[in-house]
Amino acid sequence: MTDQAAALRELISSLRTDPSKQTETSGPSGKTAHIIAVTSGKGGVGKSNFTLNFALELQKLGRRVLVFDADIGMANIDVLMGVRSQYNLFHLLKREKSMSEIIQTGPNSLPFVAGGSGLTELFSLSEEDLLYFTRQIEEIAQDMDYVLFDTGAGLSKETIRFITASDECIVVTTPEPTSITDAYALVKVVHDLESEARFRLVVNRASDYREAQQTADKIRLVAEKFLRLDIPVLGHVSDDPHVSQAVKKQTPFSIRFPNSQASKDIQELALRYTQHSLQVRADSPKGIKGFVRKLLKR
Ligand SMILES: Nc1ncnc2c1ncn2[C@@H]1O[C@H](COP(=O)(O)OP(=O)(O)O)[C@@H](O)[C@H]1O
Ligand SMILES: [Mg+2]
């Protein structure tokens, strides 16, 4: 077993036994992790920074979170944390490593699976390989409250699969018109394919609350009118130069600059999320079992 896997197990057991790390407003109950895909229409809108810092804040609230870098081609969660990834999904699929061995830990012992060349392979595996992968992911998800997938931007086949397989999809947009129209396009395509997909909006890089609200309203109104779909707003993260400074230092902004506006926003957002989290029952077709089944269905 690697050091990272040992650290992960330690973290999981400490969260289990330390009641101070569990809050009243409990997250999803049951034994299955809640699967969240974080995505966007346009690239470069702040998905990876959001995923990472949101995960860290959820962890601070006592939740057990696994971050999974599923951005095929542009995987970089490890770079944002300043951690050199040794292993990724590729090693799992090649049966060189087990799931607990490819899980590494970042700052605050945040468990994560690095992206890599493995993901495209995931969609062309033999039945036997799929079964192996399914068992591995189910085992690890038992110990988690949330699994957050940082997906690629746009409408690739892989990204759409991750989104439709997840329990919910957080769509990140900025106030720029191109980001807004691309976010709506993404929602529309996914909704047409899977009308039960659940979305929530995050407006990143807003100059203030008003701009965030206006941005969200544009998407919500169109979705309501043309898709008859309600997309609740999870919150916004301010445009804040500390984010870019933290990226350059390869440290998550919520750790490097905990008092910055962006950090305060994401703290508030994570708290609100835990208070309004969707409940997933262990026997529901969603959760990790439903996720794996849908992800791999051909
Ligand atoms: N809230 C923010 N305020 C200021 N700059 C931001 C913010 N969020 C993201 N950025 C900038 O955008 C860049 C891209 O962010 P990233 O999370 O890598 O986007 P994506 O994963 O969507 O491609 C960051 O390196 C940072 O410079
Ligand atoms: Mg990214």
Is any ligand 1 atom within 6 A of the Cβ of residue 44?
A: yes
Distance 179 CA to ligand 2 centre (A): 15
- 48 touches ligand 1 (CB under 6 Å): yes
What pLDDT sits at residue 143?
87
- pTM listed for this prediction: 0.86
Predicted confidence (pLDDT) at residue 100 exceeds the cutoff of 60: yes
Q: Is 180 in the pocket of ligand 1 (CB under 6 A)?
A: no
Q: Which of 18-22, 165-169, 285-289 has the lowest mean pLDDT?
A: 18-22
Residue with the larger pLDDT of the pair 20 and 289? 289
Convert the pLDDT of each residue in 108-149 to its tens digit.
999 999 987 767 777 777 778 777 877 787 788 888 999 999
Name the percent of the chain lying above pLDDT 70.
84
* Ligand 1 centroid, distance to 95 Cα (angstroms): 34
pLDDT at 135: 79
**Cα 188 off chain centre by:** 20
What distance in Å separates the CA atoms of residue 21 and residue 258, rounded to the nearest whole number? 19
Into which CATH architecture does domain 28-296 fall?
Answer: 3-Layer(aba) Sandwich (3.40)
Answer yes or no: are the C-beta atoms of 69 and 75 closer than 8 Å: yes
Does the pLDDT of residue 53 top 80, yes or no? yes
Whole-number pLDDT of residue 285 = 60
Mean pLDDT (whole number) for 243-270: 98
Cβ(236)–Cβ(245) under 8 Å? no
The ligand 1 atom nearest the CA atom of 237: 1
